[in-house]
Amino acid sequence: MLLIEGRNAVREALRNGEKIEKILASKSTHDNTFQEIIDLAKSKRIKLQWVDNSTLDRTSKTGKHQGIIAETADYDYATLPEILAVSKSKGTDPFILILDGIEDPHNLGSIIRVCECFGVDGIIIGKNRACNVNETVIKTSAGATAYVKVAKVTNINQTIEELKQHNIWVYGCELGGEDINKTDFGGGVALVIGSEGFGTSALTLKLCDKRVSIPMCGHINSLNASVATGIAINTIFTKKNNK
């Protein structure tokens, strides 16, 4: 069982038709946003259980339930063909993010939120040495997990080879590459972001068609993974939409 915690996350899960088994709602919380969630749950005939805040505190895994927790099945990961089908349905070139070893759930949640805001078709994560989509990820994403497909693959490098067969160019975001602001990003794009501590693995970086870098001028030459992803994704989004 997976818990969806917080108002935005629960509301977006309801709006997106996710399979929610039960909602625990605070007896003492009453405002417009809270009532909107309750009305949505009732319209979908989802079981509502009114509880006190101490019960929510004990149940919560994030410590930030905001008076509402939804119980659902484990996160339903997508497949690579399902992600590729997103751009086909929109009539656009594929726009995919590959995460090579992101382990911090707060980073993953923030990254998913960024991807939802800028129209990324889906995210690919590795099966090993990577954070899964859990309660903290869902809460941090502010509900974006309800809209962005995430695929968990056994071998990222094999997946990169498969993406290339679909005429998708793979870009590794690492130091020492071409200025990301000067890169074309025409056609299908897959952007690789490495882990928080070690960056992108050498073999994965070697498989990329091009290495791109975010120009910086400060004394610290590295960015938090979610911040770097946000800058890179926004840059690609802007370039694609200004063509």
Q: What are phi and psi of 29, to 5 degrees?
A: -105, 125
- How is domain 80-241 classified at the architecture level of CATH? 3-Layer(aba) Sandwich (3.40)
- Using CA of residue 131, residue 133, residue 135, residue 136, what is the dihedral sign? positive
Residue closest to 197 by CA, chosen among 103, 94, 60, 119: 103
Fill in the amino acid letter for 226.
Answer: S
Domain borders along the chain are: 2-72, 80-241
**85: CB partners within 8 A, 6+ apart:** none
Quick one: tokens of 190? 């897959």
Q: Spell out where the chain has E strands.
A: 2-5, 20-26, 47-51, 68-72, 95-100, 122-126, 149-153, 168-179, 188-194, 210-213
- Name which of 25, 21, 22 is nearest 53 in CA terms: 25
Cβ(77)–Cβ(150) below 8 Å: yes
Check: CATH 3.30.10.20 for 2-72? no
Residue where the block lists tokens 């870009």? 171
Q: What is the pLDDT along the chain (243 residues), one digit of tens a residue?
A: 899 999 999 999 999 888 899 999 999 988 899 999 999 999 999 999 999 999 999 999 999 999 999 999 889 999 999 999 999 999 999 999 999 999 999 999 999 999 999 999 999 999 988 999 999 999 999 999 999 999 999 999 999 999 999 999 999 999 899 999 999 999 999 999 999 888 899 999 999 999 999 999 887 777 899 999 999 999 999 999 886
